[in-house]
Structures are given as C-alpha cells and as structure tokens.
Homo-oligomer: A and B are copies of this chain.
Amino acid sequence: MSKRALSVTREQDFPEWYQVAVRDGDMAETSPVRGCMVIKPWGWGVWERIQAELDARIKDTGHENCYFPLFIPMSFLAKEAEHVEGFAKEMAVVTHHRLKNEGGKLVVDPAAKLEEPLIVRPTSETIIGDAFQRWIKSYRDLPLLINQWANVVRWEMRTRLFLRTTEFLWQEGHTAHADRDDAMAETRKMLEVYREFAENVLAMPVIAGEKPANERFPGADNTYSIEAMMQDGKALQAGTSHYLGTHFAEAQNIQFQNREGQLEYCHTTSWGVSTRLIGGVIMTHGDDDGLRMPPKIAPRQIVIVPMLRDKPEDKDLLDYCASLEKELKAKGIRVLVDAKPVKSAEKRWNWVRRGAPVIVEIGGRDAAGGNVTFMRRDVLRDGDKIVSHTKPVAEFVAGAPALLDDIQAKLFAEAKARLDGNIVTGIKTFDELAEYFGAADAEDEGGAFKGWAYVAWAKPEGAKLEAIAERLKALKLTIRNAPLDQKPVEGMCLFTGDAAREYVLIGRAY
C-alpha cells in the first residue's frame, strides 16, 4: 500500500503506476473502440497548450498550415516502394460507403463497395506529395513549407494511452526544396525546434541525434530524432525529422524548373510530433502523488480551492478568491477557482494528482489576515509531510510569475540531472553491454534503473547492421541515435571490432 496519493509507486511497478497516474490525473481513458482513447478535458488542455506553443514556433520558421484529406487511395501508398514495404501495413481500410437496414438490423451494404479501397491516413507524404506535384512549377515556388495538425491511424495490437494508440493526434510538416543542402538544413532546423520546444516548454531534456539506418522512416535517406529518458530508464522517441532525398519526388513526379529552365526533382522532408509527447511528460515529471505539469503546458497554472463550510461566511471566502483570481489573471496566469460542492481536501488531492503547478487553499483565517496559503506541486513534500507556504496576498501575486518560472526550471533541472547521471560511458564490449542491462526477461517486471549506454561503433549498414539489431533485440535493446553533439570518437566498434566512427546511445525503449 502506497503512502502517497496514487495506489502504486513508480518503484513498485512503473507500467502500472503510469496507468494509474493517467487515470487519476484525469488525462484520458480507453474507449470502446479498440486502441482508441478518449482525451479528457485536463489532458486535452495540455494538448492545446502544446499545440499553441509548437504552432507558434512552426509559423515563426516560415511554415504555413494546411489541411489534407483523411483518406488516402490505396494506390497512393504503393507509389514509394520502401515506404509501403517499411510501413507496418496495419491500417484502417475503408471498403464501403453505405450501411443499410436489413430486417431491422444495420449491415454494410454490399452494393456500396468502393472501386478502390481508401486508407485512413497513417501519415500523409503521398497525399501531400500529390498536391506538391500540382503546386510546384518553378524554383520560385521553393522552398514550399507546409504543416498540418491532424489525426492519424495506425492499427496497433498492444496499445497504451498516449504512448501507442490506434488513433493519435499529431502535426506533420512536409516541405520541398531545390537541393539537398536546403532540405537537409530544414530537416536539422526542425529537429532543433523540437529539441528547444521539448526542453523549454515540456521541461523534458532530450538528446538530438541521427537514427541508425535500420530505424529510418520508410523511404527516408536520413532520420533524426529527439530521445527522452523516462523515470524507468527507458527511452522515448519524442519527435522525428526526416530528409527524404528525391525518393518521394521521383515516385510522385514533384519537379521544378530550375534557373536554367531544366526540370529537376525536389528534395523533400517531413517531421512530426504527436500526443505521445504527453506520455513523455507524464513519465518524465510524475511522482508517487500523481502528475506534475510544467507550468508552460498546465491548462491551469494556479488552482484556488476555497475551504467552504456550507455557512454564510462562504460568500466572503468566495469573494476573496474571486479577487485573487482576477489579480492573477491580470498577470496573464491561467487560474481557476474550484468552487465545486466537494470537500476541499478531496479537491486538493484531485489537483495534486492532476499536477496543477500551484495549489492555493483559502480558509477563513487566510481571508481575514489577507494571506494566501499554497503548495508547490514540484516540491509537495518534505519526507512524508506536505509542505505549505503562507504569504501576504500582494506578495504572492507579485511573485506568482517568478514562482511559475521557478517550478518550470526546477522540473527541467531534476529531469536533466537524471538524464545526465544515467548514461554509462565505459562499456567496450557486447558482453559488458549484456551484463550491464541484465537478462532481457527480468526487465518487464520492473528491474533496476539502467538508463542508456554511450558506446562507440563503426556505423555499419546492410546485413551487418541487421545482425547487430538482432543481437540487441535479444536483450530488448535498440540503438536510439547518434547524438549530434558528441565527443571525438576513439577506439573500436563495440559490435564489429572495426575502427569506431561515432558514438551511439543504446537503451530500452517505449
């Protein structure tokens, strides 16, 4: 039995803790539709904040939003050979366009079969490529920088709220360029936008790097990712950016007339992050009392709980809270007075589990003395004891923006220390690696915190790489990425014994 607000601690059972944290934090729930989730108001509020912050960055870097069809004709998916081969092919297929009433029962009307099946978009390279092919005529139309916010569907067998769901929400950027340099610069620029966004908005430290060839997006020449370390030591791929070469342009005839009047294929990119980020935030910051939302994405940054007693004095208390709310709003803070007819202790704990950054409780004594009593969700306790602070109202209001900034910074610093402290660097051989991460089958039931290993390798491709991936897979490990920012490489490849070419991060992953 946990002595904390959640029924299970992270140490006891991290996967179970995650489920309880999502549920008790009012973020989302499973639906009667296999693998699809219902995102509840608090969870959706987080996504709205993520959208607003990231959308501003996407627009600031010159991209325009569009909207493309939900459905993709099956023949479109077949256009780029690697793309269709590499994609899992687990997709939602629309085959009919009508239901009919047969003896009082609703059935699919066999007369309404589509000539060509439609796929619910798993990603939109092909349908957007079709538009690019029409829109791009000359070098003057380049670069073409487009983004869309949309729902996508990939039929998943084992699903987990936010982390892997059949339907999820994301943004997908798609761009076309005159040459490799410009497209590669775009690919790297958006990776950096993701890194900055993850660290400064989600307070989630990440490592930006290039994925090994076997982990590339199907049809990409280069795939980059940001990888975050969860509290169980596993990696979460939190965003990807792809340089697609001319593969999609060739498959879909996306050509432009260059300055010399000749036709050339465009170089294209795509990049995306999804509602998966929310799972990352939960597993980065949550504790045994529930979620801890970074102030920049908390739908409500300060929640005021009046300690109502169903007595005439309640009115004064509510007036006091309303006036505090107004002053905080005037400072641009997202604030809520929770005046629901529920016991104030219950409300306090609900907001603790949801991770509101600052929880204010106002009782008669606070109102009479002109004070504010509050808890910081980032440092809720000292040992087992809840820590609360009391300040004169003017001082609290004046300091509120700085308080929120401090919470944001502390959450980041805590996660950054965990990431930095849990990347092991001394491993030189595969046996050492295997020993370090332990037997694969022990892992599922919790297991000790391992983090990642930073190892030198020769960057092999083809069959050699396949073999390495297989060996790692037996240990439930994968190569996460080769960090962009890395030390000069020394020594031998951990896998092949050849001279090493770079360092890569190895870990278990979601």
A54-81 interface with B by 8 A CB criterion: 64-78
**Bound form: Cα–Cα A40–B41 in Å:** 30
Which of B77, B98, B99 lies in contact with A77, CB distance below 8 A? B99
Question: Is B169 a contact partner of A67 (Cβ separation < 8 A)?
Answer: yes
Among the stretches A2-10, A83-91, A304-312, A375-383, the one at the interface with B is A83-91
A37 at the interface (CB under 8 A from B): yes
Question: Is A100 a contact partner of B89 (Cβ separation < 8 A)?
Answer: yes
Question: Is B65 a contact partner of A38 (Cβ separation < 8 A)?
Answer: no
Question: Is B32 a contact partner of A73 (Cβ separation < 8 A)?
Answer: yes
Which residues of B sit under 8 angstroms from A89, Cβ to Cβ?
Answer: 98-101, 109
Which of B48, B92, B130 lies in contact with A94, CB distance below 8 A? B92
Measured CB to CB, the closest approach of chain B to A156, in angstroms, equals 10
Measured CB to CB, the closest approach of chain B to A505, in angstroms, equals 33
Question: Is B153 a contact partner of A70 (Cβ separation < 8 A)?
Answer: yes
Which residues of B sit under 8 angstroms from A99, Cβ to Cβ?
Answer: 74, 77, 89, 91, 93, 119
A36 at the interface (CB under 8 A from B): yes
A469 at the interface (CB under 8 A from B): no
A368-407 interface with B by 8 A CB criterion: none
Which residues of B sit under 8 angstroms from A37, Cβ to Cβ?
Answer: 69
Question: Is A98 a contact partner of B106 (Cβ separation < 8 A)?
Answer: no
**Bound form: Cα–Cα A167–B98 in Å:** 15
The copy count of this chain in the complex is: 2
Measured CB to CB, the closest approach of chain B to A457, in angstroms, equals 32
Measured CB to CB, the closest approach of chain B to A34, in angstroms, equals 9
| Closest residue of B by beta carbon distance from A64 | B41
| Closest residue of B by beta carbon distance from A109 | B89
A120 at the interface (CB under 8 A from B): yes
Measured CB to CB, the closest approach of chain B to A140, in angstroms, equals 6
Interface bits A19-49 vs B (CB < 8 Å: 1, else 0): 0000000000101110011111100110110
Question: Is A95 a contact partner of B98 (Cβ separation < 8 A)?
Answer: no
A18 at the interface (CB under 8 A from B): no
Question: Is A41 a contact partner of B65 (Cβ separation < 8 A)?
Answer: yes
**Bound form: Cα–Cα A83–B394 in Å:** 56
Interface bits A133-158 vs B (CB < 8 Å: 1, else 0): 00000001000001000110101000
Which residues of B sit under 8 angstroms from A97, Cβ to Cβ?
Answer: 90-93, 155
Measured CB to CB, the closest approach of chain B to A57, in angstroms, equals 16
Which of B33, B39, B106, B151 lies in contact with A78, CB distance below 8 A? B106
Question: Is B98 a contact partner of A118 (Cβ separation < 8 A)?
Answer: no
Which of B64, B91, B127 lies in contact with A33, CB distance below 8 A? B127
**Bound form: Cα–Cα A67–B70 in Å:** 17
CB-based closest 4 A-B pairs: A36-B69, A41-B64, A39-B67, A93-B96
- The interface of chain A, by Cβ under 8 A from chain B, is 29, 31-33, 36-41, 44-45, 47-48, 64-78, 84-85, 89-101, 105-106, 108-109, 117-120, 127, 130-131, 140, 146, 150-151, 153, 155, 167, 169, 340-342
A38-B69, A75-B106, A90-B97 given; name 7 further pairs at CB < 8 Å.
A29-B131, A33-B118, A70-B120, A85-B101, A92-B97, A95-B95, A140-B342
A to B CB contacts below 8 Å, 7 in the list:
A38-B67, A41-B64, A71-B92, A77-B99, A97-B155, A98-B155, A99-B119
